[in-house]
Amino acid sequence: MNVRPKIRNPEVVEDARRLLQAGGDIELILVFLRDRGFDQADCIYAVESLMGRPFADAKGLVIHSQAWSDRYESDTKLREAAREALRRLANSKSPDLPRIIFEGENE
């Protein structure tokens, strides 16, 4: 299985690091990354690296940012649809499927 590298464009991340060191805030960094073709996953990995934040924190910063606010509603709908599909699969009790476990009420 091919796994993409977490940081696909290290040069851009290093440029973002320089912006951060010069006093740029998270919104500036995310706009900078997005303007250079980074998707949300790329930005999450970059925030992990740049700010030393755990994945969950980095993800929260990215998905709730102003820089990615145009995607928030559609991404939320997609996550809800995926959860619902997984719930239906889990409820099917099919022996051909792996066991699906939901953790917490909002998972």
Q: Domain ranges for the chain, please list them.
A: 10-70
pLDDT tens column, 7-16: 889 999 999 9
Distance CA 83, CA 76 (A): 11
The answer to whether residue 47 scores a pLDDT higher than 80 is yes
pTM of the model: 0.75
pLDDT tens column, 49-97: 999 999 999 999 999 999 999 998 998 899 899 989 988 888 888 888 8
pLDDT level of residue 105 (50, 70, 90 thresholds): low
If one compares 1 and 72, the residue with the highest pLDDT of the two is 72
